[in-house]
Structure formats: C-alpha cells, structure tokens
Amino acid sequence: MTPVPSRERYDLAVVGGGVHGATVALFCARAGLRTILFERGSLCREASGVNAGTLTMQMTRVALIPYALQAHAMWASAPEWLGHDVGVVVCDGLSLAFTEGEAELLTYRAGKRREAGAPIDLVGPARALEIEPGLSERVLVAGHCKVDGFANAYLTGLAYRAALIEAGVTLCEQVPVAGAVPDGGGYELDTAAGTVRARRLVLAGGVWLEEMAAWLGLRLPIKVLINQLAVTERIAPVMRTVVGIASGLLSLKQYPHGTVVIGGGWQGRGDRVQGGVELVPDSLIGNMRLACHAIPALRRSRLARAWAGLEAETRDALPAAGPIPGFPDAWICGSVHSGYTSGPFIAKRLADRILERGEPDPLFPIDRLLAPEAGAAPSAPVAEAPLS
Amino acid sequence: MSSTETRADLIVVGAGPAGASAALAAHRAGLAVVLIDEAGRPGGQVWRAPAAGVAIPEALRTQDDRDGAELRAAVAASGLRFVGDARVWSVTGRFRVDAATEAGTEAFVAPRLVAATGAHERVVPFPGWTLPGVIGLAAATVLLKSEAMLPGRRTVVAGCGPLLAAVAAKIVAGGGTVSGLVDLAGPADWLAVAPRLARRPRLLRQGLGWMIRIGLARVPVHFRHAVVAAEGGEAVEQVVIAPVDAEGAPVAGTRHRIAADALAVGHGLLAGAEIPRLLRASLRFEAEAGGWIPVLDTAGRTSIAGLYAAGDGAGIAGAAGALLSGRLAGLAAARDAGALAEGAFAAARDRILAERHAVEAFAGAVRRLMRPRRGLVDAIAPETVVCRCEDVTRAEIDAAVMAGAREVNQLKHFTRCGMGPCQGRFCGDTAAELVARHVGSREAAGVWTARPPLRPVPLDTLLGDFDYADIPVPKPAPL
Ligand SMILES: Cc1cc2nc3c(=O)[nH]c(=O)nc-3n(C[C@H](O)[C@H](O)[C@H](O)COP(=O)(O)OP(=O)(O)OC[C@H]3O[C@@H](n4cnc5c(N)ncnc54)[C@H](O)[C@@H]3O)c2cc1C
Ligand SMILES: Cc1cc2nc3c(=O)[nH]c(=O)nc-3n(C[C@H](O)[C@H](O)[C@H](O)COP(=O)(O)OP(=O)(O)OC[C@H]3O[C@@H](n4cnc5c(N)ncnc54)[C@H](O)[C@@H]3O)c2cc1C
C-alpha cells in the first residue's frame, strides 16, 4: 500500500521513478537522507521498463562512454549493489556494416568511441561469424566490443521497488506531483497525496522533464522520441551476442528464455500526453527486415508483440543532469541517450554531488539547454559537455 | 517499401454473423466495403464453413450449416470484396488495417471500420489443463464443424452453457463416445432460465434435440459438477470431477474419476474487443457480457469517430444478436458516410432494435448460464499454471501482488504473465480476477494494454522478399 507522506520536511524529494530517479533516491537514502520518491504510475513502467534493455557502448554517445562503462559494471553486478536481479547477461556485441557507406561510418564511429575508452575492435566477416555464428554472410566489417550485454528491462521496477523499500525510501507510486516551488527551507511539492516539503529536490521525469522544469518557471525543451520495439515468440537459440548496425538503428539479442527483442529506435506515433499511441506498420516491418538481414534464422519465428515507449532527447542530445541554475539544492537528472545503459552511474554521480561526496562531477548542467526568454537571441548549442 | 494500400469506404474485420451482415448492409447502402477474415470463407464461429476438401455428411448437417451456406451465398452474390485467409495483425490511424496473407502483408485504408472479431473462450485453469487432449469447448466446435473430426474416442465434455450440449450431441452424432457431461449448472439453474430460453422456440427445440440425442446415447450427466483435474502421462487419461456450489467452488461429496482420452472444457466466452482496445476506445467492464467491452451508442458507434463494434466482440449476445448488431453497425457506417438519409436510417434502426429486444431475453439466459463463477477462480491451486505461454502459476501471481503489483500490466512486468504469443487472451481474465481479489475490483485490476500483432504472425509473412537497399533505414543516431 502507498505510504502516507509525513508532514515533517524530508531531506530529499525525488519526482519520477524511472531508472534515474530511483537510483538517486536509493543512494541518497542509503547515505542516510530521509527520502521520498513520487511516481505518477508504477515504478519503472515508462522508458525504464519498456526499453530494449541493451547495455551497449556501440550505441552510446561518445561523451557518455566513460559513464556507460562504469554503468555497465554496475549492471553486471546488480545483485551486489541493487540487491536484486534484473536478468543481466554480459556478452559480446557486434555492430555491423553491410555497405561501403556503412563501413566508413562504422570505422569512424568505432574510432571515436575507442578514443573515449570503449574497447571496440574492427573485425572482418570471418571473425564476426566466429563471434556470432547466427550472423548473415553479407557483413563487410563489424565493430566488436566485449563489454556488451543486456538486461530484462521489465524487471527493473520489481528490483528497484524492493531495493528502495529496503533502503527506507518513502515510495509513493500512483502519486503524481503537480508542482514544486521554493518555500524558504527547501521545496514544497503539490502532490496527489497532499503538500509535501523537502530540503532538496530532484526532478527525474524522463520526457516529462519539460513540464517539471516549468514548475520552476524554466523552459527546458525536451524532444520526445517514440521508439518502437518488437519481440518474437520463444524460439531455439539463433544468436548469442548483441547485434547492432553502424547507423545505430538496430538492436537485437535473444534472451535466455528464447524471445528475441528487435529495436533500434524506429519511430512510432505518440506524444507525452497520450504516450506511445500506435506503431507504424511500415517502420515496424523495416526494423524487422533489418533484423532478419543481420540474423537470417530469425525469419522463421513469429512476431508475438510490439510496443512503443517514450525516450527524451535534449536539443544537443546530451543529458540534462546537474544542478538547476538559480535554485539551490535542486537538481535535474534525465534525457540520457541510451539512458538505460548509463543511467545508474550518472544518477549515482548526481547522488554523490547531493551528498557532497568524492570528486565533484560537473555532469551535464542544463544551463546550455534552457531556452532563452522570448525575443532574446538563441544561445549556441553546446557540442560536447564537460566531463571530469 | 510501404505495402500496397487498398482504399474503401468501410473495412469490416471479422466475417461471422456480425461482420458479414455489417458488410452486406453497408454495401447495399452503396459503400465500397472490404470484409476481412482469417478464415477462408465467411461464417464465423457459429456458421463456420467446413475446411476445403472436408465434406460434412448430409445426415450431420444442421440448421447452422444451412444458415452459414446462406450467408456465404449472400456475400458471394453481393459483389462486396471479401478477403479471406487474411489475418489482421495491425490496426492504426483512422484507419489502416494490415493483414497477413499467404502472399505477404496487405494494407487497407478506409475512414470507417467495423470491428466484429467475435469471442474467445474462457477456461479457468485446473491441474492438468495443459495436457495434450484437453481442448476448449468452443475449440471442439471448430474441430467438429470445420474438420468433421472428433476430439477423441472417449471425450468428457465439461463447463457451462449451451455449447456443452451442442458439443456432446455433435460428438455422439459423429459416432464418438461422450463418457461424461459435466455441467456447472444444476437442473434448477436451467429451470430458472427456461422461460427466457423458450422465447426462441427454434433454438429451444434445437437444444432439446441435443438433449434427446445425449439421452439416447446414455451419456452420464453430472449437474453442478466441475472438472478439478485432468490426469495422465503423455496425454489426458482420466478426468476428475467434484460437486460444486452455485459459484463453482468444490463442495463435500463424491469425486468421480472418468476414463477419457479427451476433455473438452469451457467456462464461457470472452468478448474479443482487441481492436477497440488497440485504438483506445472507451471500454467498460461487464462480467456476464464477456469482460471488457467497448462503450457503444445504440447503433454500435464506439467513442472513436468512424469506429463501430458489433457481435460478440462488443458483448456476448449469440448469433442472432450478432446478426442484428452487425446490420445496425453497417447501416450506421452508411449513415455517417452520407450514403443513407437520416429518416431511412432511423426507421431501420428502430426496427432492428425492436428485433434485438426480442432476442435479448434468450441471450440474457445464455449469458447467465455462461457467467463467470468466482468459486472456480478461488479454487485454483497455488501450483496450477495460469499463463500457459510463460508458465506462470497462481502462486507466482499472488506473490507478485504481495510484492506490490497493483494492476495487470504491472503484474505482467513482475511475472511475464500475459507476455507470450497469445498476449493474455487465455490467461488474462483469470489473472485479472486474481489481482482483483486483492485490489477490490476488476476496474482497479485494469486490462492489458493492447499491442500489435492481434494474432502472432510469422516474420517471414510480414517481411516478404526485399533487398537491403529497400529498407528505409532512418538517418543515423548522433555520435
Ligand atoms: C522503446 C525504448 C527502447 C530503449 N532502448 C534502450 C536500450 O536498449 N538501451 C539503453 O541504454 N537505453 C534505451 N532506451 C532509453 C532508456 O530507456 C531511457 O533513457 C531511460 O530509461 C530513461 O530513464 P528516466 O528515469 O530518465 O525516464 P523514465 O523511465 O521515463 O522515468 C520518468 C518517470 O517520471 C514519471 N513522471 C512523469 N511525470 C511525473 C509527475 N508529474 N509526477 C510523478 N512522476 C512523474 C513517469 O511516470 C516515469 O516513470 C530506450 C528507450 C525506449 C523508450
Ligand atoms: C471457438 C468458438 C466456437 C463457437 N461455436 C459456436 C457454436 O457452435 N454455436 C453457437 O451457437 N455459438 C458458437 N460460438 C459463439 C459464437 O461466437 C457466436 O454466437 C457468434 O458466432 C458470434 O458472431 P460474431 O459475428 O460476433 O463472431 P464470430 O462468429 O466469432 O466471427 C468473428 C470472425 O472474426 C474473425 N477474426 C477475429 N479476429 C481476426 C483477425 N485478427 N483477423 C482476421 N479475422 C479475424 C474470425 O475468424 C471470425 O470468423 C462459438 C464461439 C467461439 C469462440
């Protein structure tokens, strides 16, 4: 049952129970902060529960590679720090090129990611087939990364729910927050369970960060991607690695229970008010064709289910993670590209900042993203955010 | 790459009594209609056509077969476009319908759509229900009608409603043995609805005919009994039955073991409202009408402009009700398209509503007999599998609720219940009942979010032949 929030001021209020909000709340609560977490629906049932679960460097933005590597290690040891299993499998990953153009793109991108620290090698078709015997023979060249893998994203909520409760977080599911304003001693939140006060505030609303920032009078434009995914029925093993493509528009792996999840960010229809309203059949078919081109044996399976989820993207496609300018003790955490992979580590670093622990990490402050007042000249987008 | 699109004024999905009559009515009013069904020929469940090459002996032909043949002749003579062997897997927009056929996938586009996809069967799990040889009561009718095949040599027929007698009589007529007819209802329950059944003398006579056939074959009838287990090694060998109360809960009394190599069991029908659900039309929960059904106006309009629902998919009402609600939805579509004047439409609508009122008493009686029984669900043992696609037991569902799952979609994430190829069509009603036991009501327990495909479809069929260059790969993600 949903606990009744206390009238006393909490040390920290987190709004949004995706992987970002839940991780911040978890580490802060374990460090002793009296923490309350609000989730409008059920924990991790938006992007953080419906995503493809791929934990890959080869789709991660270069600026995020250092975070993604650390986060990968966290996912791989989830039972140790989270205390619960999210079905993480660590395996090799391949990013494929089928055309000359893709080979060029792949070579360039793999190089950039390697410079950022991702252990990616380029391999020829024969070696690629050794690594992934299910692979099509039409591959020209492949990026190979040994630090890859996947999780069962749908288990995220179950795992975090238990961990948060064990850590003593006041977990308010099905409790939307309608606003938050400074009140002298911190922030006052207008919630479906009444007014709640906290000394510190973290906004972790995924694609709804734009609305949340508006509570404080800030305009933080967030683009909404409507990512489609498809899953086959359980089939005998057809692959053992995570397979992607140079352009980033394919993510493919087979789960131990036999289903194959096909993703890659092909777009459906929807918006942040209605959610992922519907799938576009042509784009679903395009994504599945790409998948079967990569792993031909997949063609023999049946499509069991397909869905769409909402992913947030900032103007420069880099995270919104850091303090909220002009609002002491208030932070934002989200909009991380391939944010399931990197989320736990970025959120943990934010928790460290809140707790004033260790080397402060500037993360990806949102100053660059805040839209100028009407009439003012637009500020230049920041290409690469600072990274400690 | 986009598939070829056929345009029409109206698409009707489902060519049972409801869909076929909707299509015929709209076509007669002047609309260009496409009628789609996954079966090769119109007829639906009740008037299912025999499979190609299967000849039903004259002696076994029933009124249903004759009505079905008549319907097929009417569709063939009308000139409307019937697309058979086409499985609708996606419905989007306002409206695009994608169907998987032997030839690949085909798209149809129209401003109006009638969803007439009928019902599916409810089977409340019991130990052994996943053994080979155990099939649904309704599925048995499909086998008997379309393949002229017996479920087994010695079959136990169990569950509730008129399908019990229909299946038992057909097995007997086909030369099989019914080694027990196990009815959740008792003679008193039948007597209580008899006056309402008598309002359709032809159907009552048909029912009595079945009973006579069953009586002459000396089929042992067990009223107020339920199957509590199917037992066997590789396949079902015996069926255990126990006396139950009015809600289907086992009570003290003798348990019988009946030797059998097949068990046909069904606990009522669930409305197949997948299309309205997928398109996010308003739904309401009504247990006796088959669960979550679309909210409709008197003419079958859903809350979404241009989307109509008719037949069992809009609420269980049987073939006669389906026929009438289908005709009405077809006329409403014609009216809304401007092909029918308001006066003519209103007159036709009032006539149909009056006829529907006349068949409603009978339909209500049948719904009553097929109603879900709480006790059956309560009696599910902890170790019994509820979701057969993903092997989820009742104990796992209860544990997930204890761990904080408040509604069925969260339950799905906690347990994989409903995540398999049937997308919860078989386990959904039971799983939701179990969640409802903890959260208070079926409304609170919610309903699975509908997802494409409406039916599992082979990737091979969906993808067709293609070159790599044909794949419209979007622009690369940022580096
Ligand atoms: C289909 C899909 C596939 C993806 N595949 C991958 C992948 O394979 N690998 C990868 O690394 N990343 C993937 N991603 C990206 C990844 O899922 C996201 O980046 C990440 O989950 C975002 O987490 P979040 O916590 O920021 O947002 P969310 O998980 O969306 O959480 C935000 C939460 O805030 C809540 N909320 C909103 N408003 C309020 C309010 N007013 N009050 C209270 N609560 C509120 C929402 O209900 C929601 O639960 C994918 C995304 C999608 C959609
Ligand atoms: C398996 C079964 C057997 C039954 N047998 C009998 C019986 O013997 N006697 C009796 O009186 N009643 C029977 N019933 C009850 C019967 O369904 C109704 O009384 C009557 O047939 C309802 O008519 P309808 O037009 O609403 O639906 P239906 O007759 O069920 O017609 C629905 C049609 O939609 C089609 N369809 C559904 N989904 C799709 C899709 N995604 N793509 C393409 N086509 C689709 C189906 O193939 C079907 O032909 C049965 C019900 C079921 C579920």
Ligand 1 proximity of A180 Cβ (cutoff 6 Å): no
B318's enclosing H/E stretch is helix B318-336
SS3 call for B465: coil
Is-contact A75 A183, C-beta < 8 A?
no
Those of residues 66-125 in B touching chain A at CB distance below 8 A are 89-90, 92-93, 96, 98, 105, 107
How many Cβ atoms sit within 10 Å of the Cβ of residue A211? 17
Which distant-in-sequence residues (6+ apart) come within 8 Å of B446 by Cβ? B407, B408, B409, B432, B435
Per residue in B374-428, pLDDT tens? 999 999 999 999 999 999 999 999 999 999 999 999 999 999 999 999 999 999 9
Q: Rounded to a whole number, what is the distance in angstroms from the first to the last CA of chain B?
A: 27
Per residue in B249-263, pLDDT tens? 999 999 999 999 999
For A354-378, letters b (16+ CB in 10 Å) and e give: beeeeeebebbbbebbbeeeeeeee
The CB-side HSE value for B347 (13 A sphere, CA atoms) comes to 4
For the segment B82-107, the average pLDDT, to the nearest whole number, is 95
Could you give the ipTM of this predicted complex? 0.92
Asked if A303 lies within 8 A of B458 by C-beta distance, the reply is yes
Per residue in B64-82, pLDDT tens? 888 999 999 999 999 999 9
Ligand 2 proximity of B319 Cβ (cutoff 6 Å): yes
Best mutation site among A208, A224, A250 for ligand 1, i.e. most ligand atoms within 8 A of its Cβ? A208
Would you state the pLDDT for residue A373? 56
Burial of B111 (0-12, 13-18, 19+ CB in 10 A): middle
Would you state the pLDDT for residue A387? 33
Per residue in A135-154, pLDDT tens? 999 999 999 999 999 999 99
**This prediction's pTM:** 0.94
Phi, psi at A371, each rounded to 5°: -70, 140
B47's enclosing H/E stretch is none
**Is the bond leading into A150 cis (omega within 30 degrees of zero)?**
no
Burial of B421 (0-12, 13-18, 19+ CB in 10 A): buried
Rounded Cα–Cα distance for residues B106 and B462 (Å): 9
Rounded to 5°, angle at Cα B50 from B48 and B53: 160
Q: Minimal CA–CA distance to A387: which of A187, A117, A12? A: A117
Partnered with residue A309 across adjacent β-strands are A227
Per residue in B193-221, pLDDT tens? 888 888 888 888 888 899 899 999 999 99
Distance of CA B422 from the midpoint of ligand 2 (Å): 17
How many Cβ atoms sit within 10 Å of the Cβ of residue B427? 26
Residue A238 is classified by DSSP as -
Rounded Cα–Cα distance for residues A116 and A98 (Å): 25
Which of A206-210, A359-363, B52-56 shows the highest mean pLDDT?
A206-210
Asked if A288 lies within 8 A of B463 by C-beta distance, the reply is yes
For the segment A111-127, the average pLDDT, to the nearest whole number, is 97
As a three-state string, the secondary structure of B176-188 is CEEEEEEECCCHH
- Helix axis angle, A156-166 to A19-30, nearest 10°: 20
Phi, psi at A191, each rounded to 5°: -120, 165
Asked if B459 lies within 8 A of A302 by C-beta distance, the reply is yes
Would you state the pLDDT for residue B473? 85
**Residue A205 C-alpha, separation from nearest chain B C-alpha, in angstroms:** 19
Among A34-48, A159-173, B57-71, B134-148, name the one with the lowest average pLDDT. Answer: B57-71
Rounded Cα–Cα distance for residues B383 and A370 (Å): 55
Task: Return mean pLDDT, chain B.
Answer: 94
pLDDT band at B55 (very low <50, low <70, confident <90, very high): confident
**Is the bond leading into A221 cis (omega within 30 degrees of zero)?**
no
Beta strand B221-223 pairing with B134-136: unpaired
Q: Rounded to a whole number, what is the distance in angstroms from the first to the last CA of chain A?
A: 42
Strands (E), chain A: 10-15, 35-38, 89-97, 120-123, 141-150, 170-172, 177-182, 187-191, 194-203, 223-232, 242-245, 251-254, 260-263, 269-271, 275-278, 302-313, 320-323, 330-334
pLDDT at position A79 over 90: yes
**Which residue is associated with the tokens 């959610």?**
A275
Among A259-268, A369-378, B14-23, name the one with the lowest average pLDDT. Answer: A369-378
Token code pair at residue B205: 């006579």
Phi, psi at B195, each rounded to 5°: -60, -35
Would you state the pLDDT for residue A119? 97
A62 contacts in B (CB within 8 Å)?
479
Best mutation site among A340, A342, A346, A363 for ligand 1, i.e. most ligand atoms within 8 A of its Cβ? A340
Tell me, what amino acid is at A80? E
The CA-atom distances, in angstroms, between B459 and each of A138, B30, B85, B99 are: 20, 37, 17, 13
Is-contact B370 B161, C-beta < 8 A?
yes
Task: Return mean pLDDT, chain A.
Answer: 94
Is-contact B337 B10, C-beta < 8 A?
yes
Asked if A42 lies within 8 A of B459 by C-beta distance, the reply is no
For A183-204, letters b (16+ CB in 10 Å) and e give: eeebbbbebebeebbbebbbbb
Rounded Cα–Cα distance for residues B42 and B20 (Å): 7
Nearest CA in chain B to A318: B478
Which ligand is nearest to the Cα of residue A270, counting in written order?
Answer: 1
Token code pair at residue B268: 């009522």
Is-contact B38 B340, C-beta < 8 A?
no
Rounded Cα–Cα distance for residues B109 and B184 (Å): 45
Closest in B92, B423, B474 to A266, CB measured? B474
The CB-side HSE value for A37 (13 A sphere, CA atoms) comes to 33
pLDDT at position A388 over 80: no
A265: left (phi over 0), alpha (psi -120 to 50) or beta: left
Rounded Cα–Cα distance for residues B358 and B231 (Å): 44
Based on DSSP, count helices (H) and strands (E) in chain B, helices before strands.
Answer: 15, 24
Token code pair at residue B119: 């019902």
Rounded Cα–Cα distance for residues B230 and B135 (Å): 11
As a three-state string, the secondary structure of B61-118 is CCHHHHHHHHHHHHHHHHCCEEECCCEEEEEECCCEEEEEECCEEEEEECCEEEECCC
Rounded Cα–Cα distance for residues A374 and A120 (Å): 45
Would you state the pLDDT for residue A362? 92
**Which residue is associated with the tokens 């029984």?**
B373
Asked if A337 lies within 8 A of B476 by C-beta distance, the reply is no
A279 contacts in B (CB within 8 Å)?
90, 92, 452
Asked if A278 lies within 8 A of B92 by C-beta distance, the reply is yes
Token code pair at residue B422: 């049937």
Would you state the pLDDT for residue A304? 95
Mutate to test the interface with B, among A267, A285, A298 (most CBs of B within 10 A): A285
Per residue in B328-346, pLDDT tens? 999 999 999 999 999 999 9
pLDDT at position A377 over 90: no
Per residue in A208-225, pLDDT tens? 999 999 999 999 999 999
Distance of CA B326 from the midpoint of ligand 2 (Å): 13
Per residue in B142-200, pLDDT tens? 899 888 899 999 999 999 999 999 999 999 999 999 999 999 999 999 999 888 888 88
Ligand 1 proximity of A157 Cβ (cutoff 6 Å): no
Residue A38 is classified by DSSP as E
Per residue in A277-296, pLDDT tens? 899 999 999 999 999 999 99
pLDDT band at A155 (very low <50, low <70, confident <90, very high): very high
Would you state the pLDDT for residue B3? 59
Residue A63 is classified by DSSP as G
